[in-house]
Amino acid sequence: MTASPDLGSGAQPALPPLFPFAAIAGQPLLCQALLLAAIDPQLGGVLIEGPRGTAKSTAARALAELIDAAPFVTLPLGASLEHLAGSLDLGQAMAGHALKFAPGLLARAHGGVLYVDEINLLPDALVDVLLDAAASGVNVVERDGISHRHAARFVLVGTMNPEEGQLRPQLLDRLGLCVRLANVQDPAQRQAIVRARLLFDADPAAFRARHAGAQAALAAQLRTARERLQPAGALPWSDAVLQAAGALCIAAQVDGLRADLVLLRAARAWAAWLGDAEVTPDHVQAVAELVLVHRRKPGAPQPQPHPQPRPQQQSPQQAPSNPPSQSPAQIRPPAESTANGAGDSPPSEADWGAMPPEPVGLLRVAVPSLLAREAAKSGAPATKKA
């Protein structure tokens, strides 16, 4: 007979092994957005929109493993404001001691990843506090007779299914990056993803050992990218970069200047990930859709690509997603093709969809009054209507 575990011994149960970040396939934009947020947490986090079963939670949990000594904290839907931000330590207060602050989930997530599943179902008050701390890196508590602030530098990852409701535009704008996932339709890629998951479930240790080298390389590259952003004035950008970011934001018809600032920070983080010495318009173009997809006004044109894409990027004729064997460290977004083609004079909006004229046969219709008039002129009797 198998002995039951001693639940009262205080021993923590072993956590299930995590699916390695290096083994995630079929979602290059998701991996890119998570890496950018991990490089610069001040971007304001990542919102992942998509249907069920598209690796949203798997990728978020795997990201925390790439960051050195990073906690992974989950915010439940039923959490209160005190549970999230912290409050007065009632035990200390009732014992007659001095007022003491009891840390919340924001304090526990410092230096790691704070994961919010179904963020669109959270009360707006909690989302406001969450986004304030994610953008500023500081949690400020002013209530219950206490005034306290503490560091809260974490990577915010929120997921949602659009079928279950939307976030208010004001809250969407405060989330730095957004990825809109779709179901994988390529049969070969779909089979590769399912095969990898089955191998992991059958033997997690062997599967993780197989990807240990790629996982260590990703962690080292992430650590180096974070360090490259620390010195003041590191990875400068030129006026051309500012112009490229401003032009994309104007074309997207965004409100305010938050999109410009986030776009520049994301481009800087992407340059740090690639190991480049400075930020260029190519970096801006590479992260533009992650910054603008949830801020673009309906009907606004898609952002135009930079005229000289990086040679490492995929060409417009290549598939936009990575093959199953490609590591997230090799992610480089494809260059988008222009909407007007390669002609010297693009057509105007009024001519969009115009088709050349085609010859149409004419059908002669007999009208009784006209027949009678013609018959009178020719002297022939008019045909009577039956």
Residues annotated as part of the active site: 258
Q: What is the DSSP string of 222-245?
A: HHHHHHHTSSTT-S-B-HHHHHHH
- Rounded to whole angstroms, the Cα distance separating 385 from 97 reads 110
Task: Say how many CA atoms lie within 13 Å of 233 toward its Cβ.
Answer: 0
Q: State how far the alpha carbon of 110 is from the alpha carbons of 50, 77, 175, in Å.
A: 27, 20, 18
- Strand ranges (DSSP E) for the chain? 46-49, 72-74, 87-88, 101-102, 113-116, 138-143, 146-151, 155-160, 177-180
Q: Are 42 and 17 in contact (CB under 8 A)?
A: no
- Rounded to whole angstroms, the Cα distance separating 48 from 377 reads 80
- Rounded to whole angstroms, the Cα distance separating 234 from 277 reads 8
Q: What SS3 state is found at 254?
A: coil
- Rounded to whole angstroms, the Cα distance separating 215 from 66 reads 8
- Amino acid identity for residue 139 in this structure: N
- Rounded to whole angstroms, the Cα distance separating 117 from 76 reads 8
- Rounded to whole angstroms, the Cα distance separating 163 from 156 reads 22
Closest by Cα among 155, 161, 176 to 72: 155
Triad 287, 272, 50: Cα angle to 5°: 35
Cβ-based neighbours of 212, under 8 Å, separated by 6 or more = 20
Name residue 178's beta-bridge partners: 47
- Rounded to whole angstroms, the Cα distance separating 155 from 110 reads 9
